[in-house]
Each structure stands twice: as C-alpha cells, then as structure tokens.
Amino acid sequence: MNPHPAEKTPFRGKTYSLCLDEQNSARYYELIRELTDKFLTRCPDEKKLLAHVRNASAQKSFIRKLSGRVADKELVSFIRQSLRESLSEYTSGVGQHLKSLPLSQRFDPVLKTKEEQYHLYMIEIELVNRIYKEAFRKSSYKFALIAHCLRDFRPECKAYSGDYETVCRGCTKDCLVHLGGTLLKKYDIHPYISITMDFEKLFKKIKADHKSVGALGIGCVPELVMGMRLCIEMDIPPVGIPLDANRCARWMKEAHETSFNMEELEKLM
C-alpha cells in the first residue's frame, strides 16, 4: 500500500500552510513557542497577554476594550509587527482568497479572516493551550472533535453516529482520524469526527452528563479559535491543534485531504 499522502508532500491550504517545504510543521510550532515566550517577557501574565491578543484580533468596527481599560497600544504594536515579520510566509494565500470571495461569503466570520487575524489567532491557540492544559488533563471526561477532512479519502468512510458526534470505525491504517483517535484513546480522550452540528448544544449536553469536562479541538486556525472561545465561555477548559492547512469544501469548494502534527498532539496529552 502506498504511504499516506501526508507523509510525501506538504499540503497547501487555501489561506495558510504550516509545513511550507518541510515534511511536517515542527518549525512552525518552534517559532510559535519562541514568539509567545518573547511576548511574555513584555507581559508575563499569560491571561492578560491572551486578553491583549484577543483584543487586537477583534474587527476594527468593534469597540476594543480590555477589562474596561484601553489596551496597551505599545505592546499590541510590538506583537503585530513581530507576527507580521515572522508568520507572513505561512499565510501567503490570505490576500488572494479575500479578493476572490463572492459577496455572499464576505460576511462569514471564518472565511473573511484577515491575515493579521490569522497571526494573532496562532498565538491565541498557543496561549490557550498553556493556560488550560492542566485543567484539561484533570477533567473527568475529556473529548476531542477532529476535523472530518483528516479522513482517508480513498475508501468510503464507515464512520457511524455516536452519543454526541460521528465516531471513526478505523477503516484504514493511514486515516489520520483513525491515527489521531487511537492516540487520543491512549490518554482516555473520547474522539469524535466534527462535521456539522450546534457546538453550543453539544457542549451543554456533555457538561450535563459529566462532572467535569475538557475539550480538545483539531481544526483550521479560525474555526479552532472560535471553538476554544466558546469552550472558555462555557467553563470548559480547551486545548487544540491547528490543521497543517485548510483544504475542506468550505474553503476550496470540494474536500481535499489535510494533516496535523501528531507529535504536537501528544505533547498536549
């Protein structure tokens, strides 16, 4: 059997690609950690830094406030400039994507994500992982939502409906949903395939059924951030791993395979 495509050629996304010319996204994660550490030397409080980053990524049309006070403009300017200089090579497709968006999609909060927002979201994911990792690990019930575009596209998917979401049957050994799910189960994390559903409704149901709940997401950068924010609002400690590239039908009109960094996933566990 031929190796999974993710092992041969780095995937190129519609707006962002984390592997570039490497076989995996290890260099990207190294850079994200370095940038986050650099920002923390200017603002040592992780939660306060997260608030600044989220505040900076808000749409300009919104009134930006930070705990009732004006955000630290010097810090935010430093963060923006550092991210622009360091991360632009990973988001080279954003400009063309935004230009080609039809009018009907220009109000979609995910599809209209700007390049600077991608950079800020990347740091937000790293900060959320640092802040909530221990609370996630200590949760009595941990579940994961895995993007459906990670499945092996060669055979017909035999996933079935579970208690909360679609469950992988492990049809092929090369399917990243199966491989990721196997790793998650090793750490007593219940994996589900994320397709389409009301996540707020899902989270409420899971919370009602378990004493304490932790959530792990594997999805494209903007959707992962939105999911993490919803979890925090609902008092569910989240962690997450971004897809190496955004290639599903929502972005590319038809579904294409993508990948994620398995080593980084295990570090979170």
What would the pLDDT profile of 166-224 be if each residue is shown by its tens digit? Answer: 555 556 666 666 666 777 888 898 887 766 557 788 888 889 999 899 999 999 999 99
**Mean pLDDT across 227-247:** 95
Q: Say yes or no to pLDDT of 163 above 80.
A: no
What's the pTM value of the predicted model, to 2 decimals?
0.86
The pLDDT assigned to 19 comes to: 93
* Sign (positive or negative) of CA dihedral 109, 242, 234, 193: positive
Supply the pLDDT for residue 151. 59
More confident residue, 61 or 204: 204
Is residue 23 within 8 Å of residue 3, measured between CB atoms?
no
- Per-residue pLDDT band for 138 (boundaries 50, 70, 90) equals very high
What's the pLDDT score for residue 51? 94
Tracing tokens 């490497």 back to the chain, one arrives at 22
Residue of 196 and 83 predicted with greater confidence: 83
Q: Which residue has the higher pLDDT, 194 or 163?
A: 194
- The structural domains of the chain, with segments of one domain joined by +, span 13-268
Whether the pLDDT of residue 242 is over 70: the answer is: yes
Residue predicted with more confidence, 246 or 64: 246
Dump pLDDT digits (tens) for 26-55: 999 999 999 999 999 999 999 999 999 999
Work out the average pLDDT over 130-143.
Answer: 96
pLDDT of residue 222: 95
Predicted confidence at residue 140, as pLDDT, reads 95
Rounded distance, CA 187 to CA 171, Å?
21
pLDDT band per the 50, 70, 90 thresholds, residue 66: very low
pLDDT at res. 168 = 55
| pLDDT recorded at residue 182 | 77
Residue 70 has pLDDT above 70, yes or no: no
**Average pLDDT score, the chain:** 84
List of residues 6+ apart from 216 with CB closer than 8 A: 136, 142, 143, 144, 145, 184, 189, 238, 239, 240, 241, 268
pLDDT score of 195: 61
pLDDT tens column, 223-234: 999 999 999 999
Provide the 10 A C-beta neighbour count for residue 60: 6
- Which residue spans within the chain are E strands per DSSP? 141-147, 160-161, 166-167, 189-194, 213-219, 238-242
Residue 61 pLDDT greater than 50, yes or no: no
